[in-house]
Amino acid sequence: MSSSPRRPSSVKGLHSGVEEVSSPSATTAQPFGSWKGLAGKTTCEEGEEMKRVPDKRLMLDSWNQSIFSNIKQRLQNSAMKLVHSERNGEAFDSQLVIGVRESYVNLCSNSDDKLQIYRENFEKAYIDATEAFYREKAPEYLEANGVQNYMRYADQKLKEEEQRGLKYLESYSGSIQALNECCVEYLVTVFKEVILAECPGMIKNNETEKLQLMFKLMDRVPDGITPMLKDLEHHIINQGLADMFSSADIITQDSEKYVEQLLELFRRFSKLVKEAFNDDPRFLTSRDKAFKQVVNDTSVFRLELPSKQKGVGNKTQPESRCPELLANYCDMLLRKTPLSKKLTSDEIESKLKDVLLVLKYVQNKDVFMRYHKAHLTRRLILDSSADSEKEENMVEWLRDVGMPADYVNKLARMFQDVKVSEDLNQQFKDTHRHKGSLADSINIKILNAGAWARGSERVQVSLPLELEDFIPEVEDFYRQKHNGRKLQWYHHMSNGTITFSNMAGKFDLDVTTFQMAVLFAWNQRPLDRISFENLRLATELPDAELRRTLWSLVAFPKLKRQVLVCSPEAKSPKDFDDSTQFMVNQEFCLIKNNKPQRRGKINLIGRLQLSTEKSKEEDNESIVQLRILRTQEAIVKIMKMRKRITNAQLQTELVEILKNMFLPSKKMIKEQIEWLIEHKYMKRDKENINVFIYMA
């Protein structure tokens, strides 16, 4: 006896019968003649219509009514049993099933829908059989083999069923789509929760191949990947913040390490999205959303900004210090520092563009621009830029990434000012070279206050006599060039080099104007002790600035032997009182390789330059003040365009306008709306307080 599976005999018999009946010709030979031959000639309209009925249709109708209708259920069941056997791995002649399908397709006499009989019978039976098969098999496989093996099984069966459907179903009837929906329902959707429960662990363990398979399956299910998107976001936020916390002691003190850590996190998460989800836009959006939360988180460290205008309230609203640290890192790359000196030009450019990548996720970009401008000012005034071309390129890159034009234009004007100032400085030197002036040893920078000045930060100081006498020469020269313009001197933005001589040697000190004013107090009496109170009288510096300046001279971190010493010793600038005595350290010298040097040069400016104690507060205050103005401007712009708008729509459009610089809080929006209503720029609708109306 043969071991091959038994085939239903009716299927094989029908296959040959269908081939005979479904001949491609429109008409057939005798004994089935045309209606014209059978019915004879007729002149009625009905007879003329009947002449056009093809013989094939009559044949198929006759076959269907007299033979096929009696055996089709048996044939259909037999065909489904063959397909069932194939799903279980048995082999047979696929033409047997195809023959049954063709019988349904070819026997339909409905000219408007030739696939009606096929859909109502064969397609329905095929999909019902598929559903029944996987209702039974899928749960069994899942229970026996586990979720991860089941995903491979489901993926393989979906491919197999699609190929089987292309073979046994009509391709252009929608059958394949209906089959796929059935397979997805009973292979994936039914087990959706069980499969998705594995997602967080896979993401945590970076199992990209398994995630790719899960993504492939869940993307077939409506809203199937939504939980995966949430799992990815949670992982990025939790892992990102955990990494930042674990190295908080380092990154809070070192902007380079902070930026490098952020970039390492971004690269790691981007690699995960690429390898597991093929950079699908939905997963990229989730990555960006989560990484933005990491960048703007205030848990590790934060910047405190006043929540109201100065004098109104002292409450603060915390923001991430990320933009400040990004600006510091840019400064390290663009200034002459050990970091910039060891990098090539291409490496510096690459790292600057990395900063711009992180900046894209920063919520308070206005803070970055404020600090970046302060650092740029410092570099341009101290001539400490490592590469002037890179400086100007950075400004254009900021423009390219969407920084507001008014911010960027001010930075560009600063470079133009420096070039104009260089020409003026050279003209001044040429004019005063032979007049016994200090012109040859002094460089003046005449800059436009609109682009450079920062509020009311000018500080009064008593300058050395040589400088006091020199200032009128500069002012007279400038008046001759530009009649009607007035110069204002920003001494805290000035610096110089003085020579320190003692028994140990001769040393050049780069100092701020404030440091110079303090040190010149000992110029005529180098061995004297001078009290804090007398130094304040001699220099005319404000108390806070004098404390900072003196501290930089008694506790400069890079010096083993300080320029000044004080009595009693102090642990911070706050410890100085009016009676604290200061004196020049006669043993001062530079130490190199643990050996005292006879000559040398040291920069004592550090972070003092361009940053007064008062200006720090003013910087934070001005950031808040500018945000208030920007919010008011944006609201008026929206109201002018819309004329009438709901509160919800106004807030949505406002955030869209301001998001490239900062995200206004709901409290700020509410306060500025009330301010604009009070000042008659807009009003509330009398019938609906949540609707605003523009007032021209």
Q: Among the ranges 53-62, 193-202, 455-464, which has the highest mean pLDDT value?
A: 193-202
CATH 1.10.10.10 domain residues, the chain: 614-694
Strands 530-531 and 564-567: unpaired
Residue in this structure with the two tokens 């836009």, named with its chain if needed:
281
CATH 1.20.1310.10 domain residues, the chain: 55-193
Does residue 3 register a pLDDT over 50? Answer: no
Q: Which CATH number does the domain 492-609 belong to among 2.30.30.230, 3.30.230.130, 3.30.1490.20, 3.30.930.10? A: 3.30.230.130
Least confident of 226-230, 300-304, 499-503, 547-551: 300-304
Q: Which band of pLDDT confidence, cut at 50, 70 and 90, is reported for residue 636? A: very high
Quote the pLDDT of residue 11. 55
Upper half-sphere CA count for residue 15 (Cβ side, 13 Å): 15
Among 288, 196, 285, CA closest to 237: 288
CATH 3.30.230.130 domain residues, the chain: 492-609
Does residue 37 register a pLDDT over 50? Answer: no
As a residue count, the chain comes to: 696
Quote the pLDDT of residue 665. 83
Under 8 Å between Cβ of 292 and 361? yes
What percent of the chain clears pLDDT 90, i.e. is strictly above it? 45
Quote the pLDDT of residue 117. 77
Among 530, 526, 496, 532, CA closest to 514: 496
Quote the pLDDT of residue 453. 65
Under 8 Å between Cβ of 308 and 315? yes
Q: Which CATH number does the domain 614-694 belong to among 3.40.50.300, 3.90.1580.10, 1.10.10.10, 1.10.275.10? A: 1.10.10.10
Does residue 311 register a pLDDT over 50? Answer: no
Average confidence (pLDDT) over 560-573: 92
Residue 616: how many other CB atoms lie within 10 Å? 11
SS3 512: strand
Average confidence (pLDDT) over 130-156: 94
Average confidence (pLDDT) over 585-604: 90
> What is the C-alpha separation between 115 and 276, in angstroms, rounded?
42
Quote the pLDDT of residue 433. 72
In this structure, the dihedral spanned by the alpha carbons of residues 254, 257, 258 and 260, taken in order and rounded to 10 degrees, is 160
Mean pLDDT across the chain, nearest whole number?
Answer: 83
Cis peptide before 31 (omega within 30 of 0): yes
> What is the C-alpha separation between 187 and 153, in angstroms, rounded?
9
Q: Report the alpha-carbon angle 67-71-74, nearest 5.
A: 170
Does residue 335 register a pLDDT over 80? Answer: yes
User: What are the b/e assignments for 278-311, b being 16+ CB within 10 Å?
Assistant: eebeebeebbbebbbbbbbbeebbebebbbbeee
Average confidence (pLDDT) over 110-123: 76
Average confidence (pLDDT) over 675-688: 90
Average confidence (pLDDT) over 681-696: 89
CATH architecture of 55-193: Up-down Bundle (1.20)
